[in-house]
Amino acid sequence: MIEVKMIRSNGAVNGFEISGHAESGPYGHDLVCAAVSAVSIGTVNAIERLCHTEPHVEQGGEGGYLKVILPADLTEDATEKARILLEGMLVSLETIEHDYQQYIKITHR
């Protein structure tokens, strides 16, 4: 199962942590894993390009783990943009969770 933890501070999203594998299909054909990967990596790429910053990123060596935290020194404008992108990512992941709840679980901390 894929576990998504949205990391918040005072209600505002500051990052996320994704771990596990969906195992909803054979390796290379796992649609849930592919969808979660595309949404999360796409969000990181959008933050880098649109907010002109590199968030702190930790990845597992063989996949199955991604942790992303926004830098503390972002401008107010960049912080707002990055948080909107992260909230958009959450909406996309919740849509996946709705249809494939046996393979993905989202929590907030």
Which of 21, 51, 56, 98 is the catalytic position?
21
Q: Which helix (H) or strand (E) holds 4?
A: strand 2-9
Question: Which of 33, 51, 98, 108 is the catalytic position?
Answer: 33
Query: In the annotation, is 33 catalytic?
Result: yes
> What whole-number distance in Å separates Cα of residue 79 and Cα of residue 93?
21
14 vs 84: CA distance, rounded Å: 10
Known catalytic residue at 51: no
Residues 6+ apart with CB under 8 A from 77: none
Burial grade of 78 (CB within 10 A; 0-12, 13-18, 19 or more): middle
Which residues participate in catalysis according to the annotation?
Answer: 21, 33
